[in-house]
Amino acid sequence: MSKIDESRPFIPLNIAVLTVSDTRLLEDDRSGNTLAGRVEQAGHNLADRKIATDDVPVIQAVVKDWIERSDVDVIITTGGTGFTGRDVTPEAIEPLFEKRMDGFSEVFHRISYDKIGTSTIQSRATGGVAGATYIFVLPGSPGACKDAWDGILKWQLDYRHMPCNFVEIMPRLDEHLKRGKLREA
């Protein structure tokens, strides 16, 4: 069973939040606010926060910039995961993945199913790794952002979470590139 090992130190990560929307501003971005608040409440650093329109090149430009930055460990996007014509976030982000994280989507849908039933199939939430940066693509509702953070990310982005977590393997994410992004814990 999972637990927090209080003998291990908490390691704050640098997390960037991107809201994908043609209509939102930072002032009325409820999903982005939900994520930013939870990131900071957990003790992590909000490295950056932006809003991008529902356009593949625009989304990719922001995410590529963050992947290249040494002060961004994790990217969380919200919005654009549905099936309408403007929902293009997975199409923008998935080609950037070096490795897909199928388990993230599966666990997210399990948590979501318990809350909204079969409506969870209307989301194409996904996750992966690119340039030693974790990337999570979430739906654009505050409820979905809460579910993903509270049920998965809060735990996996905490070095104290046992039996394992994303933080402890961060120094080895880019072994194939022979460069380290995060200092050894």
Cα distances from 39 to residues 13, 77, 99, in angstroms, run 9, 13, 24
Q: Provide the pLDDT for residue 177.
A: 60
> Quick one: tokens of 123?
């989301």
Domain-embedded: residue 50: yes
Domain-embedded: residue 34: yes
Q: Mean pLDDT across the chain, nearest whole number?
A: 93
Q: Provide the pLDDT for residue 183.
A: 43
Q: Provide the pLDDT for residue 107.
A: 97
Parts of the chain with a pLDDT under 50: 179-185
Domains identified in the chain, total number: 1
Q: What is the pLDDT of residues 20-46, one digit of tens each?
A: 999 999 899 999 999 999 999 999 999
- DSSP state, residue 172: G
Q: Provide the pLDDT for residue 173.
A: 87
Domain-embedded: residue 61: yes
